[in-house]
């Protein structure tokens, strides 16, 4: 797999690479990234993109960020799933949901997330990075699930309880609480908080520094650093998605 094989494949992701550092910028129709569940949405494309990234031996570090002033802060209300009923849609959504997080965790090199603004919908995509940087105005929440009457079963239950601890994680998911960047740093799931104009420079500096190491060292380091989270997701993801689907299909 080469960058030219997948650089133009996705409608919601832009790719650029320099000196082994692959920048992966999320967007919706060229603007700020919105979360959707169509076949051309981030939900559909991220899992496939992570698989392509993993198969490209020229990637030494992945730098993930968003567009504009938000990381992912809202749903895409313009796009609609192609399926005519929820059951058919959920067959696809289930497969995409498993691929999204399992393939992200299977990326074999370090991932740096530069959270350029509020991450209110599926913030775990950024927070599963090995290094998480956040702009000062960023905040983190899970507004896609309990606040909308949906079971938080698509991996968020494993990720947030691991990052925040059992009690704080349950509170976070059940209430839709927003955690500002400064508090995220205090809690330990954000490594650095920076002015918005300094965020990408700092992320690129860290990425270039890591990329000076051998690919073998970077790959083995990613393996040992993600082992526990990958195990948690294997245990929780498929069952959680099934329970989430049961609830939605029963509404």
| Residue % of the chain over a pLDDT of 70 | 99
What are the residue numbers of the active site?
124
Q: What is the pLDDT of residue 68?
A: 97
Per-chain mean pLDDT for the chain: 94
- Domain encompassing residue 19: 3-249
**Mean pLDDT on 177-194:** 98
Contacts with 146 (C-beta within 8 Å, 6 or more apart), sequence order: 152, 173, 174, 175, 176
- How many domains does one find in the chain? 1
3-class secondary-structure state, position 13: strand
Task: Report the range of poorest mean pLDDT among 30-39, 60-69, 177-186.
Answer: 30-39
CATH code of residue 128: 3.90.226.10
Q: What is the pLDDT of residue 178?
A: 98
pLDDT level of residue 91 (50, 70, 90 thresholds): confident
3-class secondary-structure state, position 25: strand
Q: What is the pLDDT of residues 219-243, one digit of tens each?
A: 999 999 999 999 999 999 888 988 8
Q: Are 88 and 188 in contact (CB under 8 A)?
A: no
Q: What is the dihedral of CA 34, 35, 41, 44, to 10 degrees?
A: 150
Better-scored residue on pLDDT, 36 or 79 = 36
Closest CA to 181 of 141, 143, 135, 113: 135
Which residues face 193 on adjacent strands?
Answer: 134
Whether the pLDDT of residue 250 is over 70: the answer is no
Q: What is the pLDDT of residues 17-27, one digit of tens each?
A: 999 999 999 99
pLDDT level of residue 60 (50, 70, 90 thresholds): very high
pLDDT level of residue 132 (50, 70, 90 thresholds): very high
Q: What is the pLDDT of residue 248?
A: 76
Q: What is the pLDDT of residue 92?
A: 87
Q: What is the dihedral of CA 231, 235, 238, 244, to 10 degrees?
A: -120
Tokens of 128: 């599963």
- SS3 string, 144-194, reads CCHHHCCCCCCCHHHHHHHHHCHHHHHHHHHHCCCEEHHHHHHHCCCCEEE
**Mean pLDDT on 62-88:** 89
3-class secondary-structure state, position 134: strand
Q: Element (H or E) spanning 5, and its range?
A: helix 3-6
Whether the pLDDT of residue 249 is over 80: the answer is no
Q: Are 52 and 5 in contact (CB under 8 A)?
A: yes
Better-scored residue on pLDDT, 151 or 90 = 151
Alpha-carbon distance of 31 to 86, in angstroms, equals: 28
- Residue written as token pair 């690129």: 204
Tokens of 247: 């609830």
Alpha-carbon distance of 65 to 72, in angstroms, equals: 10
Whether the pLDDT of residue 29 is over 80: the answer is yes
Whether the pLDDT of residue 37 is over 90: the answer is no
**Mean pLDDT on 153-177:** 96
């Amino acid at each position: 797999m080469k960058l030219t094989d997948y650089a133009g494949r996705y409608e919601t992701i832009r790719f650029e690479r320099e000196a082994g550092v692959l920048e992966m910028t999320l967007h919706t129709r060229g603007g700020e990234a919105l979360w959707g569940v169509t076949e051309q949405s981030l939900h559909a494309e991220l899992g496939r993109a992570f698989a392509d990234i993993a198969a490209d031996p020229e990637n030494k570090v992945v730098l993930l960020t968003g567009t504009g002033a938000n990381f992912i802060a809202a749903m895409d209300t313009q796009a609609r799933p192609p399926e005519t009923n929820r059951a058919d849609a959920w067959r696809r959504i289930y497969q995409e949901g498993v691929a999204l997080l399992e393939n992200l965790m299977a990326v074999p090199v370090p991932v740096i997330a530069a959270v350029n603004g509020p991450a209110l919908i599926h913030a775990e995509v950024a927070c599963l990075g090995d290094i998480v940087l956040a702009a000062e105005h960023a905040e983190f929440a899970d507004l896609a699930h309990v606040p909308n009457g949906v079971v938080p079963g698509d991996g968020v239950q494993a990720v947030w309880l691991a990052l925040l601890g059992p009690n704080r994680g349950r509170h976070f998911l059940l209430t839709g609480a927003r955690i500002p960047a400064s508090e995220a740093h205090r809690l330990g799931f954000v490594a650095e908080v920076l002015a918005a104009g300094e965020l990408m420079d700092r992320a690129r500096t860290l990425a270039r520094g890591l990329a000076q190491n051998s690919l073998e060292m970077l790959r083995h380091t990613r393996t040992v650093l993600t082992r526990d989270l990958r195990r948690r997701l294997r245990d929780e993801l498929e069952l959680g998605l099934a329970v989430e689907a049961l609830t939605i299909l029963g509404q």
